[in-house]
Amino acid sequence: MSEQSGAFIAELIASRGDPQRCRARLEAAQLRAQECEPWLKAFVYRPDSHETVDAVAKPLAGLPIGVKDLMATHDMPTTYGSPIYQGFQPAEDAWIVERIRHFGGIVFGKTVTTEFAWREPGPTVNPWNRLHTPGGSSSGSAAAVGAGIVPLAVGTQTVGSVIRPAAFCGVVGYKPSHGNVSKAGVHPLAPSLDHVGFFARTVEGAALCHALFVDAKPEVLESLDAWHTYFTAQPPRKLGVVRTPFWDRVTPEQKANFDATLARLQAAGATLVELDPFDAMPSMLDALQTILQVEAARAIGPLAADHPDLISTHMLALTSAGAAVSPEKYETALALQAKLRSEFAGFIDGCDALVTVPATGGAPEGLADTGDATFCAPWSFLGVPAVTVPAGQTPDGMPLGFQVLGRQGDDLPTLQAAAWIETVLG
């Protein structure tokens, strides 16, 4: 379920302009999907065939990519995880889908999302153990990469919907800084918190997404020299360790893995500093919940009112709560978000990146719930870049992750620090 760091970009560049090589890669993805999909259920829709001829000369060279079914596709159904939109096909692609196609990527299929990216799970299971959740809301995207069907997939995160499922499925998750990737054509849940993000098998794959969809620099894929000039693993001088006020929610296995990972990073040359656990976090999570409720009520409340029989109890509860929030409480929550975003640079001052856990532990058993997003929520609220890398397994073989965070806008340095951590962890 993984590949050697460095091999992915080399293969992508080597296959550029080679239709046979691109076709072989696509056929391998199709074969893997045929093997896995009967039980994995990562995709809600896959086309019967894909055309690669016009794509092979471009940066993504016919690369098969999973796209979360929260994103509009003009040539495939887009249901947003809701029966309300059964059979719906938009007139235009979402911005991120248009960019994937523009750079030569192949939309391999639409991946399962929870209902409007909230709590009602879809049918997807964890590729490491089908009795466990893959996480959510980007369930299918994480599972499709984790199972080795596609090398890249696109998801969204409002609270924890990229970082947590990536950790649960043993892959790399990358949530760019808020606003760094256009959300045009992506169904909103809470625009003040919504991010478009990415899943990959290595940090280098996530950095490819950053190069194309954040930095808009396709020229860095013209040669390996150009790529290595743009992106290399950078050892951080100092890492801030954040255990948060919610550390009692972390499982013993995740705590032990986190401490062992820190010891390996320190042995490899990183200086570690334990930071104050950000005492404002409880109020941050309260404010996040307020913003989420109000903005979900605006985005989905009218649909819930028109189709009460087709909306889950989870979404009805969220939108009903949002409708009851006073304007004053909502404005206060937004003001706190703006204040803490401006203060975060001071909190991280002196550190190249922060590190913490991405989840309370490995993926929980059962499919009725997608897991606790507490250890992703503060960073979604602040809108800072976040990356999770695989860091080991629980005693029963479920993946564990390690989360790396940076300053707002410092996405590339955060990815470079994560790439070094990935190298240390092997």
pLDDT value of residue 2: 41
Q: How far is CA 357 from CA 151, 232, 287, 361, 384, in A?
A: 24, 24, 22, 8, 15
- Give the residue-averaged pLDDT of 275-293: 92
pLDDT above 90 (res 197): yes
pLDDT value of residue 93: 98
pLDDT tens digits, one per residue of 62-117:
999 999 999 999 999 999 999 999 999 999 999 999 999 999 999 999 999 999 99
pLDDT tens digits, one per residue of 240-262:
999 999 999 999 999 999 999 99
pLDDT above 70 (res 5): no
pLDDT band at 1 (very low <50, low <70, confident <90, very high): very low
User: For residues 25 and 21, what is the distance between their CA atoms, to the nearest angstrom?
Assistant: 6
**Catalytic residue from among 137, 141, 177, 312:** 137
Q: What is the 3-state secondary structure of the chain?
A: CCCCCCHHHHHHHHHCCCHHHHHHHHHHHHHHHHHHHHHHCCEEECCCCCCCHHHCCCCCCCCEEEEECCECCCCCCCCCCCHHHCCCCCCCCCHHHHHHHHCCCEEEEEECCCHHHCCCCCCCCECCECCECCCCCCHHHHHHHHCCCCCEEEEEECCCCCHHHHHHHCCEEEECCCCCCCCCCECCCCCCCCEEEEEECCHHHHHHHHHHHCCCCHHHHCCHHHHHHHCCCCCCCEEEECCCCCHHHCCHHHHHHHHHHHHHHHHCCCEEEECCCCCCHHHHHHHHHHHHHHHHHHHHHHHHHHCHHHCCHHHHHHHHHHHCCCHHHHHHHHHHHHHHHHHHHHHCCCCCEEEECCCCCCCCEECCCCCCCCCCHHHHHHCCCEEEEEEEECCCCCEEEEEEECCCCCHHHHHHHHHHHHHHHC
The token duo for 237 is 């001088």
pLDDT value of residue 52: 82
CATH label of the domain that carries residue 224: 3.90.1300.10
**Catalytic residue from among 82, 139, 141, 161:** 161
Q: Catalytic residue at 41?
A: no
Answer yes or no: is 314 within a domain.
no
pLDDT band at 362 (very low <50, low <70, confident <90, very high): very high
Answer yes or no: is 93 within a domain.
yes
pLDDT value of residue 381: 98
pLDDT above 70 (res 172): yes
pLDDT above 80 (res 3): no
The token duo for 51 is 């055309």
Answer yes or no: is 414 within a domain.
no
User: For residues 384 and 386, what is the distance between their CA atoms, to the nearest angstrom?
Assistant: 6
**Catalytic residue from among 5, 41, 58, 68:** 68
pLDDT value of residue 147: 98
pLDDT tens digits, one per residue of 203-253:
999 999 999 999 999 999 999 999 999 999 999 999 999 999 999 999 999
CB atoms within 10 A of CB 387: 36
pLDDT above 80 (res 161): yes
Q: Catalytic residue at 68?
A: yes
Answer yes or no: is 319 within a domain.
no
pLDDT tens digits, one per residue of 122-131:
999 999 999 9
Tally of structural domains, the chain = 1
- Give the residue-averaged pLDDT of 20-40: 96
Q: Catalytic residue at 175?
A: no
Answer yes or no: is 331 within a domain.
no
pLDDT value of residue 339: 96
Q: What is the pTM of this model?
A: 0.98
Percent of the chain clearing pLDDT 70 (strictly above): 99
Answer yes or no: is 28 within a domain.
yes
Positive or negative: CA dihedral 119, 124, 127, 130: positive
Answer yes or no: is 329 within a domain.
no
Answer yes or no: is 124 within a domain.
yes
Range of the domain at 27: 7-230
pLDDT tens digits, one per residue of 300-354:
999 999 999 999 999 999 999 999 999 999 999 999 999 999 999 999 989 999 9
pLDDT value of residue 248: 96
Provide the mean pLDDT of the chain: 96
Nearest to 137 by CA among 150, 110, 109, 156: 156
pLDDT band at 4 (very low <50, low <70, confident <90, very high): low
pLDDT band at 139 (very low <50, low <70, confident <90, very high): very high
